[in-house]
Structure 1
Amino acid sequence: MFIGTMLTGAMMVFITQHLQIVDGLSPRSAGLWILPAAIATAASFQVSPLLARRVRQGRLIAGGLLLSAVGVALVVFIPADAGPLPIIGAFMVTNLGMGPMVTLATGIVLGSAPPERAGSAGALNEVSGEFGYALGIALLGSLGTAVYRALVDVPAGVPGGVAAGVRDNVTAASAAAGSLPGELGERVLVAARDASTSGLHVVAGVCAVVLVGLAAVSLRMLRHLPPLTSAPSADPAGDPKAPSADPAGDPKAPSADPAGDPKAPFADPVSDPKAPSAEPIDGDLITAQPRRTQSSQGAAAVPGGTTEDKAVRHRAKQDAALREAERR
């Protein structure tokens, strides 16, 4: 991530500068010309995870870096007067190749860290990308400026103070060309544009070589990573091995309905003939012991709550009272 953003970030700055100074576009026009490259980047970000399900991640990242190297190498062969279309096409190819590295590298970094350090790993990944972007502009920008200063050819007849500005950087040269008379100013502007394009060529060549080396390293270091697998389904209906939370769908699930579970205790004396029954007899509340009576068919158990049972118990109570009186 660090090296990738360092190279592509610097290339983006050089290309936008080239569109404005060498091709003579306004900042708004240059921004509109960059939009196709931004769309290519977004498309690459969306497609890369899909490709990673079929291709090993190391191979996909390495292939993307090689594609970016091809796009950057194309910039080397674009002359100063070619216009914006060729350089934008090359930049689109470069951005298409960077998609796998940007999208998959983040997942690799987070996946290699323990869960409790995932936040730190993500922050480190982001900081390294931003730092690489800034460092690339500084290093490769210095290289491009050095090439410009070495190759710019100031035409004869340019005043000393203006010539010093022309030799310093292409922006000062473009401003100085406007202050010089017609043909002399045009010659200064052409010389500055040629030197600036040469600096862009050198930077693009360096980026292409580094990207090829980075692709080789990625292929070797990440060769053990398998293709991405689809995320597991969170729907229990879509996973036959997921535990069922529906008692009706799981015959082993405990039932909360006593009628559906023959082993569940039941406290209704009407349905359970063994349950004790409390009934008032002659104004006294007595507790009857569990009993079982037979119906006329002899099949159903009827709890002690009928008139016949009450009469039987009443006679039994009277007999007990008579026996107690006789013993006295």
Structure 2
Amino acid sequence: MFFFSQHLQLVMGMTPFQAGLAELPATIATIAVVGIVGYLLTRLGRGRAIATGLGLSALGLVGLAITEGWSTYWGMGVSLAVIGLGVGAAMTLSTDAVVSAAPAERAGAAASISETAYEFGVALGIAVLGTLHTVIYRASLTIPEHVSDLERAALDDSLATATYQLPNSPNLLAEAQHAFTFGVQSVSLIAAALLAIAAVVAIRVIPSVPETTPPTPH
């Protein structure tokens, strides 16, 4: 989402408000999935249900990587909804697993550990994938020889800098947008691979005995 918001505004030309609306499918799907996590838990068991959510998120990221090269939004909107469904299911069930594993008097501490792990994962993901995106963006950026040092520095810094400093250079901006999109697509596929690995770990590590009662919302 960190890269996708920039893609919507700097590549597709949306306003911040339009970009926020465009990201709503993921949020709505994350909320809506609460209605089916109990069914997944009773039918699949916790490990397989969490793996299903992670795998669904991976498929959504692959779809996002494909549709980010399209000129229309709808393919990306569907992919975001798929990601939201998967993330919502995996997060709800994994949080419940952590809290349920602790005695009742330690539920608050268990919830805090779960939240800390989530926040650490978000920060680590932005740091690592952000660095990868920057590397891919700069590696795929083709800068003509005749550009000035100022233009070259703006392009090499980021698409946001280039957009701000080079508004009258459409050809250079188009090249930067192409490199940025390629970087986002590549990082989306890397994230999908990481989620697929996490799904395999979930199946192997987390028990999958179907439960008779749905998880308690926390």
1:222 shift after superposition: 1.5
Larger radius of gyration: 1
Q: 1:212 aligns with which of 179, 193, 196?
A: 196
- The one-letter amino acid of 2:34's match is F
Q: 2:39, 2:200 → 1: CA distance?
A: 23
- The one-letter amino acid of 2:111's match is G
Q: 1:164, 1:213 → 2: CA distance?
A: 38
Question: Which residue number corresponds to residue 141 of structure 1?
Answer: 130
TM-score (norm 2): 0.91
1:80–1:193: 8 Å Cα contact kept in structure 2?
A: no
Q: 1:60 aligns with which of 49, 60, 65?
A: 49
Q: 1:79, 1:49 → 2: CA distance?
A: 33
How is 1:132-281 mapped onto 2 (pairs within 5 angstroms)? 132-178=121-167, 180=168, 185-229=169-213
Deviations along 1:120-161, one digit per CA (max 9) or x if unpaired, are 111111111112111211111111011111111123432211
Percent identity between the two aligned chains:
37
TM-score (norm 1): 0.62
1:72 shift after superposition: 0.6
Q: 1:101, 1:162 → 2: CA distance?
A: 44
Q: 2:31, 2:68 → 1: CA distance?
A: 28
2:37–2:214: 8 Å Cα contact kept in structure 1?
A: no
Q: Which has the higher contact order (CA 8 A, sep 6+)?
A: 2
Q: 1:217, 1:208 → 2: CA distance?
A: 14
Q: 2:97, 2:155 → 1: CA distance?
A: 47
Question: Which residue number corresponds to residue 14 of structure 1?
Answer: 3
Q: 2:105 aligns with which of 116, 123, 143?
A: 116
Aligned residues: 215
1:68–1:93: 8 Å Cα contact kept in structure 2?
A: yes
Runs of 5+ consecutive residues of structure 2 not aligned to the other structure: none
Q: RMSD value over aligned CA atoms?
A: 1.7
Going from structure 1 to structure 2, the CA distance change for 1:221 and 1:134 (only over 3 Å counts) comes to: same
Of stretches 49-58 and 24-33 in structure 1, the one that deviates more from structure 2 is 49-58
Higher fraction of helix? 2
Runs of 5+ consecutive residues of structure 1 not aligned to the other structure: 1-11, 232-328
Question: Which residue number corresponds to residue 23 of structure 1?
Answer: 12
Q: 2:121, 2:72 → 1: CA distance?
A: 29
How is 1:249-328 mapped onto 2 (pairs within 5 angstroms)? none
